[in-house]
Amino acid sequence: MNFRMETIVPADIPSLIKLKSQAFADFSSLYPINILPDNLAMWEVHWTAMFLERPFMQFYKMVDSETGDGRNYSRIMASIWWQEPGTYGDDPAFHQCGADCLPPGVNIDAINYIWERMEKVLSIYSTLAPNKAIRILSMAVRPDIQRMGLGTEMMRFLLARSDRLGLRTCLTPLYAQRMLFERLGFRTLARWRADTQLYGGGMLLGGVVMSRVPPRLITPSVVPHNKVSNKLPGIMGPPARPARRKDQGRSSK
């Protein structure tokens, strides 16, 4: 399978919305109407505004290079977008869109519950050299070509950029997705869990906060960042080992 990475343009947005809604169809209990084409118009308006008004966002698409045309949905294989440093905290409007950014019919109680659980661990970003990290915000692969290595190739494209810039890369995938990122050098910093069945969501979700340091920045003097902390609020780390007794393992005389 041949592909190439291209910068997304506003004309791509309708196809990208369809791609993302199809890729995340399993979350229909949280977004019951999001996957219906008739309700994608408001998402198109929101995405277009975000694309045009927020230049610190980087949007890319993976295109079938044999067709020579990436505008049609069937020819867009995957997409990824991320936030680059130098803008964290400088754009409050992006972080305060609230319910206006959600599609009609969304399970707002379940969504708010998930974000409350996530925010307990997302504060760890403040410890990751502020303004010196790339944060991946979204990645989607078309359902009919998932599990073929396209997500890995998109990540390699991004990581090549972060390595050139000497920047740490951060993201918050679901717990089940963590192995893909571990193979690319990411390490888990924190975990979160949310039982949306309490709010009619019908699913148990779990996620992680992960980070990757560019190889050229890894030195013996760097504090390891691949250990899950048990000291931060809301973070579930591995269980502590029981203390070893001094006389354990010794035979009595």
pLDDT in tens, 105-141: 666 777 777 777 777 666 666 666 556 788 887 888 8
The pLDDT tens digits for 219-230 are 544 444 444 433
Residue 47 lies in a domain: yes
pLDDT at 85 over 60: yes
Containing 238, the helix (H) or strand (E) segment is none
Which pTM value belongs to this model?
A: 0.67
Helix (H) or strand (E) holding 209: strand 204-212
**pLDDT tens digits for 165-195?**
888 888 888 888 888 899 999 998 888 777 7
> Does the residue 169 lie in any domain?
yes
- Give the integer Cα–Cα distance in Å for 130 and 208: 19
Alpha-carbon distance of 122 to 209, in angstroms, equals 7
- From 9-18, 75-84, 133-142, 144-153, the region with the lowest mean pLDDT: 75-84
Q: Is residue 58 within 8 Å of 82, Cβ to Cβ? A: yes
Give domain status of residue 20, yes or no.
yes
Is residue 95 domain-resident? yes
CATH code of 200's domain: 3.40.630.30
| pLDDT surpassing 50 at residue 243 | no
For residue 48, what are the contacts with CB-CB under 8 A and spacing of at least 6? 10, 13
Q: Is residue 249 part of a domain?
A: no
Domain that holds residue 26: 3-217
- pLDDT for res 186: 93
Q: Give domain status of residue 65, yes or no.
A: yes
Residue 144 is given by DSSP the state G
Report the number of distinct structural domains present in the chain: 1
Instruction: Give domain status of residue 62, yes or no.
Output: yes
In a domain, 234, yes or no: no
